[in-house]
Amino acid sequence: MILDVCCGSRMFYFDKNNKSTIYMDIRKERFDIHGKHVNVNPDVIGDFRNIPFKNEMFNLVIFDPPHLKWAGPNSIMKGQYGQLDIDTWQQDLEKGFDECMRVLKKHGTLIFKWSECQISLMQVLAVTKYKPLLGNQRGRTHWIVFYKE
């Protein structure tokens, strides 16, 4: 089983209705902004800081949290990707990593996606005690793999 804790509008999926995946997000909403349609329609409404599942249930967890501290209140970026809390983002993401690892089975994989617009990859990895196994270290969009021993 697969859990995506921040599914948003499932943009990065080849199959947006994969039967093995539970799509979770903190919001369910549908709107148009500056000519763009946003449709966030999770299976489960939940918070990555307190994931509503038992320990060690998933083989694969996907964590693609908001990556912006600052975004225009009416911007496409905010509508599509959400926004971090400027004061608490480190604690929020730390809790998110803890929760993703908690619901992951032993020998499971966590995929963390990060865009280095306002916060560097090193800054965000510093919030968690978990160490990544591998990931692309060039470019601005990162796909980072964690493995649960």
Our finding on whether 142 is near ligand SAM (CB under 6 A) is: no
Q: Show the tokens assigned to 4.
A: 């995506």
What is residue 36's three-state secondary structure?
Answer: strand
Shortest Å, Cβ 92 to ligand SAM: 7
Our finding on whether 40 is near ligand SAM (CB under 6 A) is: yes
Tell which one of 1, 3, 6, 75 touches ligand SAM (CB under 6 A): 6
Our finding on whether 103 is near ligand SAM (CB under 6 A) is: no
Q: Show the tokens assigned to 27.
A: 């919001």
Cα–Cα distance measured from residue 84 to residue 98, given in angstroms and rounded to the nearest whole number: 17
Q: What is the DSSP string of 45-69?
A: E-BTTB-SS-TT-EEEEEE-----S
At a CB cut-off of 8 Å and minimum separation 6, what does 85 contact? 92
Shortest Å, Cβ 143 to ligand SAM: 11
- Nearest to ligand SAM by Cβ — which residue? 8
Tell which one of 1, 26, 77, 117 touches ligand SAM (CB under 6 A): 26
For residue 90, which of 49, 51, 137, 142 has the smallest C-alpha distance?
49
Binding mask 45-84 for ligand SAM (x = CB under 6 A): --xxx--------------xxx--------------xx--
The alpha carbon torsion through 66, 96, 134, 54 (nearest 10 deg) reads: -130
Tell which one of 8, 110, 114, 146 touches ligand SAM (CB under 6 A): 8
- In this complex, which beta carbon is closest to ligand SAM, that of residue 40 or of residue 103? 40
Chain contacts with ligand SAM (rule: CB under 6 A): 5-12, 25-27, 40, 47-49, 64-66, 81-82
